[in-house]
Amino acid sequence: MLWIKRFHSKYTYGKGVQGKIQVSLCQKSWWYFYGTQRPPLCQHYNNQTDKMGCFSTFVYLSVFNQISPDYRSNIDAVVTLVEDGTEVQVNVSRSFFISRTAGTATFEEVNPYYYTGEIYRGKIKIVDHQGKAVSNTPVYLILSYTRLRFNKTYITDDSGRASFELNTNAWNGNSVSLEGRFLLQDPVYVPGTVNVYYQNAYHFIQPLYTTSKSFLRIVRVPGTVPCGKKERVQVNFRIYEKDLSYGPKSVDFSYYVIGKVGIVLSGQKTFLVGSSKMMTGTFFIPLVFTSNYAPAPTIVVYVIFPTGGIIADSAPFRVSMCFENEVTIEFSEDEALPGSEVSLQLQAAPRSLCAVRAVDQSVLLMRPEKELSNSMIYGLFPHIFRGGYPYQVSEDDFLCWSQEPHQPDVFMVFREMGLKIISNTHIKKPRECTTTVAMTTMMVTELESTVPMLTRPTFLTTFLGSLTTTEHRTTISPPAPPVEEKVRKYFPETWIWDLFSVGPTGNRDVPVTVPDTITEWKAGMFCTSGVGFGLAPTTSLLAFKPFFVEPTLPYSVIRGETFTLKATVYNYLLQCIKINVTLAKSPNFQLEPCEGCVYISCLCANEAKTFNWKVTAKQLGSVNITLSTEALATRDLCGGEVPFVPERGWTDTLIKPLLVQPEGILVEKAHSSLLCPKGVTPAQDSVSLELPPDVVEGSARATISVVGDIMGTALQNLDRLVQMPSGCGEQNMVLFAPIIYVLQYLEKTGQLTPEIRERATGFLRSGYQRQLLYKHHDGSYSAFGTIDQEGNTWLTAFVAKSFGQARPYIFLDDRNIRDALSWLQIYQLPSGCFKSVGKLFHTAMKGGLDGEVPLAAYITAAHLEIGEALNSTVVNKALSCLTSALPNITSTYTQALLAYAFALAHDTRRTQELLAKLDQKAIRTGGQIHWSQAPSQSPSAGVWSQPQSMDVELTAYVLLAVLSKLSVTGADIAIASGIVAWLIKQQNAYGGFASTQDTVVALQGLAKYAALTYNEKGDVEVIVKSKGSFERKFQVTHKNRLLLQQAVLTEIPGEFSVQAQGSGCIYAQTILRYNEPPPQVSVTFSVRITTQLIDCTKGNMRIVTIHIHVSYIGSRVTSNMVIMEVSLLSGFSLASGSRTSLQSSPLVRKTEVSQSGVSIYLDQLTNTTQTYALQLEQEIEVINLKPGHIRVYDYYQPGGLLSCWGILAGGERVSLRRCNLDSLSPCAEEQALANYSAICS
């Protein structure tokens, strides 16, 4: 059998990609533990795509095994496309199922019950193996009841359906089975041949139990009904006089329609009945299927007779998934030139607020499942697709066992719709229970094993105790006179991300400028208003020009690396042109001589040509690459004709930035000081900017910033207080909680402006929404959300307290706080302490010898911080736990946390006792006070901050305890000032500290201190001088105290002095940044790195595998949560399947991938070595490669270890000293090894 397979490749702007295509089709065998695995059966194809980007081939299915059970029933396709000229490679994989089902039959519009004596109607539909309707073909209906079997033959219509009508008189109230078949007899299987079968349809029907002879039937509406469509639902009926107790009567037909919001429509139809013994008729119920009906409404019609009898019928519908707010978004044009002006036309219900986004199509191609759609929104509410009763109100009698089979009745009709009815009519078929004591016990045991305890019904608990190519115009009518000299330099992935109000008319036109990317832009919009929610269908705008140049660049390179810059010129004109391509020279990079390179060439219709330059990066920072191509006016022939020169668009120039990074790793140092001049005596500080001997040349830079408020730096950097990954539930909170304390401080001191409030609450809202991603269904939170088996008590308390404190500033659903507190209460022990549930990465919070006390103190403080009453049951019991544990606590950290908890509880005596003990442990140096878990360690030397996360956190808890007492004295302020002086010295360059918890607690303490010591007056002049010629003055007044003033320090190395004169206090911070080779010594982690090429013998660098062998060698048994940050070599990216394999590796909780590197989150590490493999793919050739770096660090003590790895490349081939050996570290390699030949072992 032949299988014609066609492969398409195209750019995001719709044109075909020309290149070499490799296709591998493989059928894999099953693996059995008792035998060897059979080799896969494969076919390989290599060819060149045509100008439309397509490639077709014949696939012979006979090559694959369709008989043996040893082989899987699918063919895995791997397609590799290498673009001509650029050598950019794209891989796509897909699996094709080998179907042995030649056709499938299904029943449609059939009821699970029938009325005896009435016609039973339905349809059979048949489709082939591809799901296409089979028309004008015989289909067989097999009818079976008792021991009788009949068959009928029907012919399908154009839709593949055949309607049937069956007389039920002969069924005599028996159960009936229906079977729809392609063939009357199944094909006989011949051994050794391909077994093909047909999927027949089966349907089981029973008589509807009713005490009435009357009947009604709702005629089904086929297909999916569009929103807003009016339908007249037909109801047929037959009424017998006997059911009306004889005599002339009226009959009331009642009906309900159930939609996603419950009962959306109800009504009655009344008919007068004469003296005839039977009345037959039809009536219609008019319906308008609005969004309230969607997506699966059901209608029920019933009649209750004076005799107590009842007849009913129900019918489901399918309604398109729509919304009450009808929303549309369109561009004024389908196609436009890059840089041109177009209009975005918005339409929604009046006064709707609409969220609009327009992104490059490539973004959606990477993650199509993230695209908003009607079905995705409806999928958020799965209950709207369900029927029946919840278990809490179920009417099933689990303990009634009967030999009689279940028979549908009127009650079932209502139950399936979820309608609860209370009636004294005969709606249920009576059942005779034959339950014995032994049988009851057996049934109860079975129920206990099948019904989960948390979901067990109350009554039971009580009882028990292919892609298409779009043709584009080759010329575009100019909306305005052309501007040929326009340079393309704006290339965003996200073009529009904004909110717009449509106003009272419901319409709005938004003028926008098309970015310079040649691509298709996808725009979407959703709106909310008093009417409701609405989602617009995605619309497109093609940004296109028929003649343009496109470069292929790495995301970044390291200074000194050489890469091949490739520029491809595309001609989608109908004529040939002659082009000249130019790369603008720049002092920021060096162009290598290129022998034989020609940059003038002919280019005919639908052709592309690539031009190359060897570029070596010289200058650090963002370097502009400027490329121009021009259509030349010449008489030289191209393709046998005079080259064409367009009247407009005859040149194309673009500028793209390239990030050039320094060698080595970034070192960032901060020196902070709080200067408070007194009278005429100035306050002074000095700092020496010294560089290590191995500093990377040209990488050093320094700044000094001055602000009149100790919270000023944090205020300026609310979104980046800590320079760490933020991919877990705790890390997200460092972008949430400190903002609350900053807002509280500014509000108390009257400095909260509308601008600051808007910016800060924007971060709060984002952090709140992100944090909900880490919530469990029971209300708890954990570091990685539902990936974790259960929530974590400490993080849940942290989130509950932060959400509670954020309530004055943003809208939060109070249920999120209540759910969290309720969950915590479940795990409060009889002692009043709390059970530690879930993975706790914060080692100090685990308590050690102090047991559950630190956790109990933290949760108690959290309750009190959000206003929980002291006499509440939870707080009262928790304080009892802390009080009883107090005499045995020796840990400095636990004592600090307890002091804060008792201060919040207004327990002055115990607070003072703890503070007195802590005072004896205090470390005092130069007017600064702090505490340490390891006080025997000598304090760090030098002026630069080297914060220890745990020391910062416990010192901040002491500060909070001192300032949270009922009465804060002058002596308390003096102690607090000493603590603040030390904390400020530990701040990083962004106002945060080393990790999450120390930043949150320290900023909370600093904000409390700043509010208590706030003084509206103040005028300070700050003079910064060097020993050379540098001098800069800053003026800090009450009006600009929150303004961060900054200057660049130009003399590095050098010594600088900072002098403050006047009245008030200022916060000064000096930041020194430089690069140096990575240190190779660590007392915390051991890291060994090996690299391996997939094809070492040929020196093929396209695919490289890195093996990271890491273990913990610190003083504890295990580490806290560990983060590994792996930088990528220039021109490389993480292979598509590598992230998936990493995620399944031991201890890996999460991976984050960016253009510059990979962050891997590990639960913890021990002294057992763990190995992790990353596979990298080379996208762009880069030679003179500099080494990459791997940083491994404890999240709560982020000193960590830096190690390096890499591959040396010389000329155009890879040169490695060793492949597949224990180590390959080029950090210490001499440059002479760059041309060393590859050796594989």
HEC string for 1041-1091: CCCCEEEEECCCCEEEEEEEEEECCEEEEEEEEEEECCCCCCCCEEEEEEE
Which residue is associated with the tokens 């050996």?
Answer: 1221
How many domains is the chain built from?
3
Taking only the tens place, the pLDDT of each residue in 846-855 is 444 456 899 9
Nearest residue to 566 via CA among 590, 547, 550: 550
Average pLDDT over residues 474-484: 37
Tell me, yes or no, whether 902 lies in a domain. no
Taking only the tens place, the pLDDT of each residue in 696-732 is 888 899 999 999 999 988 888 887 776 666 668 877 8
Cβ contacts of 1104 within 8 Å, gap of 6 or more: 1091, 1092, 1093, 1094, 1129, 1132, 1175, 1176, 1178, 1207
pLDDT of residue 814: 93
Name the packing angle between helices 970-985 and 949-963 (round to 10°): 160
Query: Which of 463-477, 1031-1045, 1087-1101, 1117-1131 comes out lowest in average pLDDT?
Result: 463-477
Residues 438 and 442: their CA atoms lie apart, in Å, by 6
Taking only the tens place, the pLDDT of each residue in 130-183 is 889 999 999 999 999 988 999 999 999 999 999 999 999 999 889 999 999 988
Return mean pLDDT, the chain: 84
Average pLDDT over residues 1143-1163: 87
**DSSP element (H, E) containing 758:** helix 754-771
pLDDT of residue 1211: 30
| Burial degree of 918 (CB within 10 A; 0-12, 13-18, 19+) | buried
- Check if the beta carbon of residue 1134 is closer than 8 Å to that of residue 1175: yes
Q: Looking at the predicted structure, is the pLDDT value of residue 1079 above 80?
A: no
Write out the DSSP string of 109-153.
S--SEE-TTSEEEEEEEEEETTS-B--S-EEEEEEEETTEEEEEE
Residues 834 and 785: their CA atoms lie apart, in Å, by 21
Tell me, yes or no, whether 199 lies in a domain. no
pLDDT of residue 1201: 52
HEC string for 38-104: CCCEEEEEEEECCCCCEEEEEEEHHHCCCCCCCECCEEEEEEEEEECCCCCEEEEEEEEECCCEEEE
Q: Looking at the predicted structure, is the pLDDT value of residue 842 above 60?
A: no
Whichever domain contains 1220, its CATH number is 2.60.40.690
Taking only the tens place, the pLDDT of each residue in 877-925 is 999 999 999 998 989 999 999 999 999 999 999 999 999 999 999 999 8
pLDDT of residue 1236: 25
Residues 487 and 515: their CA atoms lie apart, in Å, by 11
Structure tokens at 654: 């673009």
Tell me, yes or no, whether 909 lies in a domain. no
Structure tokens at 909: 């005596």
Structure tokens at 831: 């002692």
Tell me, yes or no, whether 1071 lies in a domain. no
Tell me, yes or no, whether 645 lies in a domain. yes
Average pLDDT over residues 99-121: 90
Backbone dihedral angles phi then psi of residue 925, each to the nearest 5 degrees: -145, 125
pTM, 2 dp: 0.76
Tell me, yes or no, whether 649 lies in a domain. yes
Tell me, yes or no, whether 67 lies in a domain. yes
pLDDT of residue 457: 34
> Beta-carbon neighbour count of residue 801 at 10 Å?
24
pLDDT of residue 430: 82
Which residue is associated with the tokens 């009190």?
Answer: 864
Taking only the tens place, the pLDDT of each residue in 864-877 is 999 999 889 999 99
Average pLDDT over residues 23-39: 81
pLDDT of residue 1003: 93
Nearest residue to 821 via CA among 780, 861, 761, 881: 780
Query: Which of 143-157, 371-385, 609-623, 1102-1116 comes out lowest in average pLDDT?
Result: 371-385
pLDDT of residue 326: 93
Whichever domain contains 564, its CATH number is 2.60.40.10
Going by pLDDT thresholds of 50, 70 and 90, the confidence category of residue 275 is low
pLDDT of residue 352: 95
pLDDT of residue 640: 87
Q: Looking at the predicted structure, is the pLDDT value of residue 1237 above 50?
A: no
- Check if the beta carbon of residue 1005 is closer than 8 Å to that of residue 959: yes
Taking only the tens place, the pLDDT of each residue in 957-1014 is 999 999 999 999 999 999 999 999 999 999 888 888 888 888 899 999 999 999 999 9
Whichever domain contains 67, its CATH number is 2.60.40.1940
Residues 174 and 168: their CA atoms lie apart, in Å, by 10
Average pLDDT over residues 5-9: 80
Q: Looking at the predicted structure, is the pLDDT value of residue 36 above 60?
A: yes
HEC string for 454-506: HHCCHHHHHHHCCCCCCCCCCCCCCCCCCCCCCEECCCCCEEEEEEEECCCCC
- Check if the beta carbon of residue 538 is closer than 8 Å to that of residue 327: no
Residues 773 and 821: their CA atoms lie apart, in Å, by 18
Q: Looking at the predicted structure, is the pLDDT value of residue 477 above 80?
A: no
Task: Name the domain boundary from 599, 631, 661.
Answer: 661
Taking only the tens place, the pLDDT of each residue in 1082-1108 is 668 888 888 877 655 545 567 888 899
Task: Name the domain boundary from 97, 116, 150.
Answer: 97
Q: Looking at the predicted structure, is the pLDDT value of residue 480 above 80?
A: no
Task: Name the domain boundary from 71, 97, 123.
Answer: 97
Taking only the tens place, the pLDDT of each residue in 1128-1140 is 888 888 887 788 8
Which residue is associated with the tokens 């979901």?
Answer: 455
Nearest residue to 685 via CA among 1070, 1040, 1073: 1070
Taking only the tens place, the pLDDT of each residue in 390-403 is 777 777 666 677 66
- Check if the beta carbon of residue 495 is closer than 8 Å to that of residue 361: no
pLDDT of residue 57: 85
Tell me, yes or no, whether 1089 lies in a domain. yes
Q: Looking at the predicted structure, is the pLDDT value of residue 1176 above 50?
A: yes
pLDDT of residue 1051: 92
Exposure string over 52-90, b if 16+ CB within 10 A, otherwise e: bbbbeeebeeeebbbeeeebbeebbbebbbebbbbbbbe
pLDDT of residue 123: 94
Average pLDDT over residues 319-330: 93
pLDDT of residue 31: 78
Q: What angle do CA 982, 987, 989 make, to 5 degrees?
A: 150
Beta bridge pairs of residue 288: 230
Q: What percent of the chain lies above the pLDDT cut of 90? A: 46
pLDDT of residue 683: 92
- Check if the beta carbon of residue 457 is closer than 8 Å to that of residue 391: yes
Query: Which of 54-58, 235-239, 1045-1049 comes out lowest in average pLDDT?
Result: 54-58
The range of the structural domain enclosing residue 88 comes to: 2-97
> Beta-carbon neighbour count of residue 623 at 10 Å?
20
Residues 1190 and 1201: their CA atoms lie apart, in Å, by 8
Taking only the tens place, the pLDDT of each residue in 351-371 is 999 999 999 998 888 777 778
Residues 153 and 142: their CA atoms lie apart, in Å, by 9
Taking only the tens place, the pLDDT of each residue in 796-817 is 999 999 999 999 999 999 999 9
Q: Looking at the predicted structure, is the pLDDT value of residue 235 above 90?
A: yes
